Amino acid sequence: MTSRLRLLIVIFLALCGLGAGQVGAASRYSVTLDPPSFSIDESSELTVTITGDEDAAPIMPRVAGLVINPDGQSTSIRNVNGAVSAIFARTYRVTASHEGTFTIPPIQIGSMTTAPVTVHVTAAGTGNRANPGGSASGSGSGSNRGSAADVAAAVRAAMPIMKVILPKTRLYVGELVPIQIKAYFREGISARLEGPLAAAGDAFTVSGLDKRPTQTQEAVAGIGYTVLTWNSVLGALKSGDYPIDLELPLTVNVQLPGTDSDMASRLRALFGTAAPGAFMDDSDFGSLFGKVIQKSVTLKPDPTPMTVLPLPIDGRPADFSGAVGQFEVATTLAPAGGAVGDPLTFKLTVTGKGNLSRVSSEGLHDSTEWRVYRPEAKQTADDETGLQGLKTFSQPVVPLLTGQLTLPGLSFSYFDPEAARYVTRATPPIRVTVTPGALSNQVAPTLQAAAPRDGAGSAAGADALAVDVAATGGYAATLEPLIWRPWFLGATVTPIALMLAAVTLIRRHQLRSSDPALVLHAARLAAVRINLESMSAALKRGDTPAFFSAARHALQERLADLWQVPAESVDRQLVARQLPEADAELQAILTMAEKATYAGESLSAKALQEWQRRVLAQMDRLEAIT
């Protein structure tokens, strides 16, 4: 509840006539040191109490040899004879770096200062915290306050008590035992838990402390107590003698003597805050009708010596995994049978009381009959503390063969702390009927159409596999794909290259055959060749006119091809114009041709041979020109 809300409540109460007064009519300051003397291995609590001025912040001076750190703050409302005042307390933790007497100078709070405080620090182990009350206090005016002893007595009386109830004080390492932890709070004392109950030290584990405690009312020696109870499990971690070290941080609201507790009780009843569970943190009501101080304490039980024994080495089974307690084991298989290849579930169940978390099993192992998989563990607690329960290891198993198969039994070892010896539990083997299954119906005799050879693999067929086949046929040098082989690229590129080459040649030929100039050229060359052959034939016959006629036509075709003119237009005049330097020989041949053709001149065979040589020489000369 915020301070503003508290002020509203006060104003409301004042208007209702239940109380009247003013808050913070006059500011007062006081300083207390509890205890004023402490050993160097202890600390003291310095409290600066500010009455009436919430905003005033103390400025803590530096003291050589002392360390003063803020430790918290609290607020309370006091009603004294109708005068309501707000009290703000700021707490500091004081520790010393060496022995001696120190003086904390006046602390400045706003414009006021407190009285100096003397601190006595003694040697380690000589502290006297059981003698609180020697506190220094001051007010805004610097005067000491005389009620410190009463306050210390009230605080001591209000302090709660913690007890640990154990079934036994001798444990084995790894053993778990149930424990009850009880915190007793005197009736009328309100408190607030500042954190969960926690186990200190490394000798034990205490589980279940994070759960909400049960709250009951008990009377001890005629005094009523509100009791918080934790039902937990204690586990021993290492051998030796150790006390159980528990810590419960809480804040206790202490009602100081002379305050109006009856009015507070009536208000609690009026507003229903006296219900079970509400005893904690109802300081607001208490603070309205008297002075309540908040005390932060760490509650610890009285030291209870425990003896933790090591687990014996002798007789320790090889499969012992650290389980301590009392356990039973059982195995099941579901379904109870099946076909080859069908997965079945094998379960190993360990039930009992003890450290189930240390229960482990490797389960079954692969065999020629079974293929097994890694087991999966699942732990289930039967009670709230988890001390009792069961752990199940589920393991898929697959039969590999048909017929009556056996799942072997398993053993599990643990240490029984009651009997102080190791115990090994074994499960019986499980007989399983395995049928061939659907796969065996698909078994074909051979890879090819040929039947398998007798003997080879006929016995092996009983395991639901297709039987071995006769290894006939060829062998492939490699399983490497064709495309990864070096020659494949050549085999792919070659047809494309050949096709391109062929198409190129064909197209070239076709282009040539479709060109008129090329066609005319080829025709003239053919005519030259034919006329030269005719000339040779005429020579053999001795036919002079035919000889010169053929010679003249051959020359005409050659010259017409050279000059791109019609063959008929080639005569002596044209030759004289086009080839003046070669005129004489060509003119002679053409003149002789005319004579032989038109004048009927006849020459001897020898003369014709000479004329043939001259014609051929001119043809070679013209071809060279071309």
Judged by beta carbon, residue 449 or residue 584, the one nearer other proteins is 449
Nearest to 226 by CA among 180, 161, 173, 157: 161
Q: Which is nearer to other proteins, 14 or 447 (CB)?
A: 447
Nearer to other proteins, 143 or 504 (CB): 504
Binding mask 26-45 for other proteins (x = CB under 8 A): --------------------
**360 belongs to the binding site for other proteins (CB under 8 A):** no
Nearer to other proteins, 91 or 440 (CB): 440
- Report the nearest approach of other proteins to the CB of residue 460 (Å): 6
Which helix (H) or strand (E) segment is 494 a member of?
helix 486-513
Long-range contact pairs involving 167-172 (C-beta distance under 8 Å, separation at least 24): 169/304, 169/305, 169/306, 169/307, 170/306, 170/307, 170/308, 170/309, 171/234, 171/236, 171/306, 171/307, 171/308, 171/309, 171/417, 172/236, 172/308, 172/309, 172/310, 172/311, 172/324, 172/415, 172/417, 172/420
Query: Applying CB under 8 A, which part among 114-122, 133-141, 149-157, 503-511 lies near other proteins?
Result: 503-511
Q: Smallest distance, Å, CB 572 to other proteins?
A: 44
Spatial CA neighbour of 456 closest among 472, 440, 439: 472
Q: Are 593 and 552 in contact (CB under 8 A)?
A: yes
Segment 119-178, which members bind other proteins (CB under 8 A)? none
Each residue 508-527 as x (binds other proteins by CB under 8 A) or -, in order, gives: --x-----------------
CB of 519 to other proteins, least distance (A): 16
Cβ closest to other proteins, residue 500 vs residue 537: 500
CA nearest to 510, candidates 500, 498, 497, 519: 519
295: nearest Cα among 261, 248, 255, 253: 253
356 is written with which tokens?
Answer: 């189930």
The stretch near other proteins (CB under 8 A) out of 184-192, 222-230, 261-269, 502-510 is 502-510
Question: What is the nearest approach in angstroms of other proteins to the Cβ of residue 512?
Answer: 14
Asked if 20 and 82 count as a contact pair (C-beta separation under 8 A), the reply is yes
**Which C-beta is closer to other proteins: that of 80 or that of 505?**
505
Query: With respect to other proteins, which residue has the nearer C-beta, 431 or 507?
Result: 507
Q: 344 or 550, CB closer to other proteins?
A: 344
Residues 340-359 that bind other proteins (CB under 8 A): 340-341
Determine the Cα–Cα distance for residues 485 and 499; give it in Å rounded to an integer. Answer: 23
Subset of 398-437 contacting other proteins (CB under 8 A):
398, 400
CA angle 548, 550, 556 (to 5 degrees): 100
SS3 per residue for 543-561 = CHHHHHHHHHHHHHHHHHH
- Per-position x/- string for 471-500, each x denoting binding to other proteins as judged by CB under 8 A, each - no binding: xxxxxxxxxxxxxx---x--xx--xx-xx-
Which residue among 368, 568, 581, 584 contacts other proteins (CB under 8 A)? 368
Q: Name residue, tokens 């693999």.
A: 457
Stretch that binds other proteins, among 212-220, 288-296, 363-371, 606-614 (CB under 8 A): 363-371
Shortest distance in whole angstroms from residue 494 CB to other proteins: 8
Q: How far is the CB of 520 from other proteins (least distance, A)?
A: 22
Contact map string, positions 433 to 472, toward other proteins, x by CB under 8 A: ------x--xxxxxx-----x-xxxxxx--xxxxxxxxxx
Which is nearest to 33 in space by CA: 123, 133, 100? 133
Among 506, 518, 523, 617, binds other proteins (CB under 8 A): 506
Q: Output the six-digit token pair for 128.
A: 């006297």
Which residue type does 415 have?
A: F
Structure tokens at 67: 């360390």
Rounded-to-integer distance, Cα 274 and Cα 268, Å: 5
Residues forming beta bridges with residue 226, ordered by sequence position: 185, 217
**Contact 423/414 with Cβ under 8 angstroms?**
yes
Which amino acid is present at 2?
T
Least distance to other proteins, CB of residue 482, Å = 4
Question: Please, what is the minimum distance in Å from the beta carbon of residue 437 to other proteins?
Answer: 9
For other proteins, which residue of 98, 421, 507, 613 counts as binding (CB under 8 A)? 507
State which residue, 400 or 423, has the beta carbon closest to other proteins: 400
Closer of 25 and 460 to other proteins (Cβ): 460
Using alpha carbons, select from 257, 406, 386 the residue that is nearest to residue 331: 406
Output the smallest distance, CB 369 to other proteins, in A: 10
The span of 139-147, 364-372, 409-417, 592-600 binding other proteins (CB under 8 A) equals: 364-372
Residue numbers 195-234 binding other proteins by CB under 8 A = none
- Cβ proximity to other proteins: between 336 and 506 the closer is 506
List binders of other proteins among 262-291 (CB under 8 A).
none
- Residue ranges in 314-343 that form contacts with other proteins under rule CB under 8 A: 340-341
Q: In whole angstroms, how close is the CB of 547 to other proteins at the nearest point?
A: 41
Q: Output the smallest distance, CB 545 to other proteins, in A.
A: 43
Question: Which residues are within 8 A (CB) of 349 and not within 5 positions of it... i.e. 6 or more apart?
Answer: 329, 330, 331, 332, 390, 391, 392, 393
* Whether the Cβ atoms of residue 137 and residue 33 lie closer than 8 Å to each other: no
* Listed residue (326, 317, 530, 316) closest to 419, CA to CA: 326
- 16 or 449: CB nearest other proteins: 449
Distance, in Å, from the CA atom of 560 to the CA atom of 105, rounded to the nearest integer, reads 139
Nearer to other proteins, 261 or 446 (CB): 446
Shortest CB 155 distance to other proteins, Å: 57
Beta-strand pair 430-435/198-199: unpaired
CB atoms within 10 A of CB 21: 15
Report the distance separating Cα 592 and Cα 585, nearest Å.
11
Work out how close the CB of 608 gets to other proteins at its nearest, in angstroms, rounded to a whole number.
45
Two tokens, residue 362: 């490797």
Binders of other proteins: how many residues, by CB under 8 A? Answer: 56
Give the one residue of 163, 347, 371, 425 binding other proteins; rule: CB under 8 A: 371
Smallest separation (angstroms) from other proteins to the CB of 458: 7
**Residues 427, 409 contacting (CB under 8 angstroms):** yes
Amino acid identity for residue 142 in this structure: G
State the binding string over 565-604 for other proteins (x if CB under 8 A, else -). Answer: ----------------------------------------
Residues in contact with other proteins by the rule CB under 8 A? 340-341, 366, 368, 371, 373, 398, 400, 439, 442-447, 453, 455-460, 463-484, 488, 491-492, 495-496, 498-499, 502-503, 506-507, 510
